[in-house]
Structures are given as C-alpha cells and as structure tokens.
Amino acid sequence: MSQKPEVVRPVKLPILRNPFNRSAIVGFDRDYLIDETGNRFPVINSIPRFIESNYAGSFGFQWNLFRRTQIDKFNGTSISKTRFFKDTGWSEEDLKGKRILEVGCGAGRFTEIMLEVGAEVHSVDMSNAVDANFSNNGPNSGLNLYQANLYALPFENECFDKIFCFGVLQHTPNPREAFNSMIPFLKRGGEIAVDVYPLTWRTYLWPKYWIRPITKRIDRELLLILIQKIIPVWLPISTILQKIPVAGFYLSQLIPHANYTKRFPELSRAQTIEWAILDTFDMLSPAFDKPQRMEDLAKWFKEEDLDILNCGRGDNGLVAVGRKR
C-alpha cells in the first residue's frame, strides 16, 4: 500500500482526496485511482470505490431491485421533482452550473432532477446503489458517482456550492456526527439541505418501531418475500381506514406499512403496490432508524455556524436548509 506505482497516468481529479489520510488523488493505473502516497482505490463499473465497511447493505439490495420505481422519467410522474424543489426551497437557476454534493443518492431519484437543470452532480452512496444510479442516470458528463462512507468523504474541503442529503441521516449510527461530517466540504456562502424522520411523543406509538428489532435481523430476501405477500392484504385495509373522518389517519398508522393511495393519486394501482413494498422494506430493514427532534436539528445548524433558511415539516418528516457563513 505504501509503495508508489511505477506508471501513473495523470488525470484531472482536482477535488478528490483519500478519505482516510486526506492525500490528493493524483492519477490512475488500469482500474485504480491512486493517491500521492501510492494508495489505490478500485474503479468498478466506472465508479470509484472508497469503502472499507458497509452497514447499508439493505439499501443496495432494495435500490438495485427497485431501481426505476421512484424515478420520475420512468414512473411518469413529477413526485421526486416536486419534493426536491419544495423541500429545499432551491430553484432551477440556483442549481444550474453549480457543483453539488449529493450524499446518499440511492437509485438516483433526485440525481435526475439536478442533472436536468444543468448541475455538476457528485453523488455518493455507501451501498452499491450507486450502480443503480449509474444505470438510471449515466453516462452523463455532469454525473460523478462514488461509493463511499458519509463519515469519510473523498473530497477536498470547501469545494461544493450545495450539499443535498435526503433520507439518509436517520439511517446512520450517529446522525449528529453524520451531519457534521458533511460541513467541511461546503463552500462559504454555500447551502446544505437535509431531512430526517421526526421524533415526537407519537413516534414510538407507531408499530414500525415495535417490530423493527425483529425485522432488521431477518434475512433481507426473506423479509422482502414476506412484505410482497402481505402488502396486497394490508393496503386495502389501511386505505379504508384512511377514509374514516378524524381518526382515520391514526387508525391506518397501526398497520406498519407505506400507503400512498391518498397521497399520490397519480400512481396506478400497480405502482401504488410497488411503492408500498419498496418503502415498507425501507422502513423495516435498515440497521439504524434514529428520528430526531426539530429543536435538535436546528441546534446542529447553529453549532456549525450555519444560518438557518428553513427548519420545519417536510415531505418526509423534518427538513432544514442552511447557509455556511
């Protein structure tokens, strides 16, 4: 690992760093990126891999199976686009020509939106969901994909105009530290947008958290089979419950699954079932699920010298957007 290779062809990788010793990535030799001290990182399917350990295997499994489910151009909706611009408060002009770090890209539902408006997108995922993203959005001159750990990102400091991280922080071992780990890579005056699941007195009344200690330990393929069998039974029941005035929403929450029948009426029945299977698996399989209080989310921003532009309810829980001083 410590010896420099005999032949290194120079490449233009000005923002890449070895995430473990912070040395610059200076070239490549066959199928490897090489840093200035000779350490090598494999490039597989055109994607650099900076990963040492992986607690996000369930996400790679789900996004490669359901790689097109939530991608607007494949499902014929604008659900992802609407959520992106509504929750970030950004406009298309805000993104055009900007260098954006997307942390936790999954299959690329939001990567697609940023590429469409002309952003230079650097998308990271800890899992092999990056392969699903490449399948959906690559090759594209504006897209740069990396498999890397959120806690060890392979970039130089202060090189991004914006950082986008949705659906990720609550699934890390320490959401506060995960948030902190992104801030050094944001330029002064740059903006960061994150969301998290909300923590309130009602959170742990949701049966999802009663059964997760069991479901997260079940073999993921077996869990998916169980969910595929039970969703067609649960979905019509919860849909009926949702129609009950006042109490309907709370009654439907007693069934631990995702139901978008009312929320996204533009989805076909088959799509609604597929989204329910995907997001129920997404709820029950991850190793970590750590919701956060709104006041704590705001505190994260303040302690990192970020001016809060928005902190409140979002499409998937709590969302906060801030600007680096």
Query: What is the tens place of the pLDDT at every residue in 147-170?
Result: 999 999 999 999 999 999 999 999
Numbered ranges of CATH 3.40.50.150 in the chain: 57-199+291-324
Burial class of 232 by CB neighbour count within 10 A (0 to 12, 13 to 18, 19+): exposed
What is the DSSP secondary-structure string of 103-144? Answer: ES-TT-HHHHHHHHTT-EEEEEESSTHHHHHHHHH-S-TTEE
β-pairing, 306-314 with 317-324? antiparallel
Identify the residue with better confidence: 301 or 14.
Answer: 301
pLDDT at 250: 84
Quote the DSSP letter at residue 49: B
Model pLDDT for residues 33-89, shown as the tens digit of each residue: 999 999 999 999 889 999 977 788 899 999 999 999 999 999 999 999 999 999 999
Element (H, E) at 10: strand 9-10
Alpha-carbon span 298 to 129, nearest angstrom: 30
Residue 305 has phi, psi (to 5 degrees) of: 60, 45
Query: Which residue, among 113, 190, 102, 110, has the nearest Cα to 146 in the 3D structure?
Result: 102
Model pLDDT for residues 208-246, shown as the tens digit of each residue: 999 999 999 999 999 999 999 999 999 999 999 999 998
Residue 160 has phi, psi (to 5 degrees) of: -115, 140
Amino acid at 284: L
pTM of the model: 0.93
Architecture per CATH, domain 57-199+291-324, reads as 3-Layer(aba) Sandwich (3.40)
Residue 83 has phi, psi (to 5 degrees) of: -60, -45
pLDDT at 3: 45
Alpha-carbon span 214 to 221, nearest angstrom: 15
Token pair of 210 as six digits: 């009663």
Whether 4 shows a pLDDT value over 80: the answer reads no
Query: Which residue, among 185, 141, 194, has the nearest Cα to 161 in the 3D structure?
Result: 185
Alpha helices (H) along 96-247: 109-116, 129-137, 175-182, 208-215, 220-242
Model pLDDT for residues 236-275, shown as the tens digit of each residue: 999 999 999 989 888 898 999 999 999 999 999 999 999 9
21 and 37 Cβ atoms separated by less than 8 Å: yes
